[in-house]
């Protein structure tokens, strides 16, 4: 037995072990996704990585970084790929577009669509596209179209698509992604809303999309026309306090000038969370209940106007001249943490209680739910055609967010 045979056998063992783990964890649920992930030799796409790293169930393999050390390309973790494949519901004979390419995921899609289907994978960067082309050729998936282009415009040549699977972090949904879907087609996309990224499964309904599932995830950010940079602002009056806005600055940031010179109001909510409890719905709920939402980080050199937060970052709510942020205090064994609120402004005590009330509502009525209903409409859609508790405008779209009746 030669070294190549030993390596191949070990790769198969690790591949099956990963699939078994993801089935046990409830990530892989369909026979098609299971079969595809047992077959594709993903390690051949990342020869620079060890077999253990290539088949680590929950870790991506970074394949490219920019000069600042930011990740610009990767082969996503098997868990993330399986999760998106399950969301996409690919069937034999489907025509599928993958946006953001690495190789293995296109091979999984090719397995799922079968010989009567068609897969196109597109990337703005020639390097990962070349890597994918080599991998697909080496592994026999020669019927996959590999395209180098800015996917902001989709790939019209092979449209319409039964499904579009986006494997990069998007801040917006460009019109082409909707237009190139068939009626009732599925768009699976890691979409960032108010700084929170979830991979959503959307279904096309006429001119808009309705989400049918959402999962926590992390992806390399989109490049090209679809890129988006958070806006950063230093809080006036407090050195070392940074605010990061994903959906734009407050309408009039100057109203915060001198806000920290007002007395600080403090309140505790009685809302406690376990140390590993997901709080994604809490962040999303708060972000949709206040005029402006952002995240705050401190460098540890603050003067004391900003009190100890108990965390490296805090959720922030802003309404005109009022500013509030969340704080946490942990129990002695650090198994749970209670949320509190610090607020500043002319009516700081009232604002602190208002934000605390939002957190309490989450704890009593939203916590443990499936989360909000998300729909995506074209940017020009009038308000009377959109239902929802909150509409978030983006460059190409208007995102509607609806919560269960509270």
CA distance 322 to 293: 12
CA distance 11 to 5: 10
CA distance 168 to 152: 12
CA distance 169 to 266: 36
Q: Could you count the other beta carbons within 10 Å of the beta carbon of residue 267?
A: 18
In sequence order, the 6+-apart residues with CB closer than 8 A to the CB of 276 are none
Which residue, chain included where needed, has tokens 């196109």?
A: 120
Which residues, listed in sequence order, are joined to residue 122 by a DSSP beta bridge?
A: 99, 147
Which residues, listed in sequence order, are joined to residue 181 by a DSSP beta bridge?
A: 161
Separation in Å, CA 355 to CA 109, 245, 327 = 45, 18, 12
Helix (H, G, I), strand (E, B) or coil at 253: helix
CA distance 326 to 106: 42
Active site residue 76: yes
Q: 74, 76, 287, 400: which is the annotated catalytic residue?
A: 76
In sequence order, the 6+-apart residues with CB closer than 8 A to the CB of 395 are 172, 379
Please list the active-site residues.
76
């Amino acid at each position: 037995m030669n070294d190549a045979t030993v390596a191949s056998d070990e790769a198969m063992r690790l591949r099956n072990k990963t699939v078994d783990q993801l089935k046990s964890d409830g990530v892989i649920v369909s026979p098609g996704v299971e079969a595809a992930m047992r077959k594709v030799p993903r390690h051949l796409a990342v020869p620079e990585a060890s077999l253990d790293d290539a088949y680590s169930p929950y870790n991506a393999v970074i394949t490219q970084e920019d000069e600042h050390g930011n990740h610009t390309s990767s082969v996503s973790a098997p868990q993330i790929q399986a999760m998106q494949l399950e969301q996409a519901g690919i069937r034999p004979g489907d025509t599928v577009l993958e946006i953001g390419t690495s190789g293995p995921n296109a091979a999984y899609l090719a397995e799922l669509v079968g010989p009567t289907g068609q897969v196109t994978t597109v990337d703005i960067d020639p390097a990962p596209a070349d890597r994918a082309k080599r991998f697909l050729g080496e592994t026999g998936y020669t019927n996959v179209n590999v395209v180098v282009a800015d996917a902001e415009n989709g790939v019209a040549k092979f449209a319409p698509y039964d499904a579009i699977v986006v494997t990069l972090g998007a801040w917006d949904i460009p019109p082409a992604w909707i237009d190139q879907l068939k009626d009732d087609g599925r768009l699976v996309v890691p979409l960032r809303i108010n700084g929170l990224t979830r991979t959503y499964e959307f279904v096309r309904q006429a001119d808009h999309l309705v989400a049918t599932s959402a999962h926590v995830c992390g992806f390399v950010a989109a490049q090209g026309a679809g890129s988006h940079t958070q806006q950063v602002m230093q809080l006036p009056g407090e050195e070392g306090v940074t605010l990061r806005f994903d959906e734009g600055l407050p309408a009039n940031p100057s109203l915060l000038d001198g806000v920290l010179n007002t007395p600080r109001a403090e309140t505790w909510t009685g809302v406690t969370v376990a140390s590993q409890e997901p709080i994604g719905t809490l962040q999303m709920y708060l972000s949709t209940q206040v005029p402006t939402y952002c995240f705050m980080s401190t460098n540890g050199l603050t003067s004391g106007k900003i009190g100890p937060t108990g965390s490296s970052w805090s959720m922030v709510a802003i309404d005109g001249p009022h500013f509030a942020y969340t704080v946490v205090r942990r129990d002695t064994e650090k198994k749970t943490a209670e949320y509190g609120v610090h607020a500043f402004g002319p009516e700081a005590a009232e604002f602190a209680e208002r934000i605390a009330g939002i957190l309490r509502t989450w704890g009593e009525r939203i916590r443990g739910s499936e989360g909000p209903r998300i729909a995506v409409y074209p940017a020009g859609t009038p308000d009377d055609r959109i239902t929802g508790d909150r509409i978030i405008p983006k460059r190409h779209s208007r995102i509607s967010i609806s919560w269960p009746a509270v």
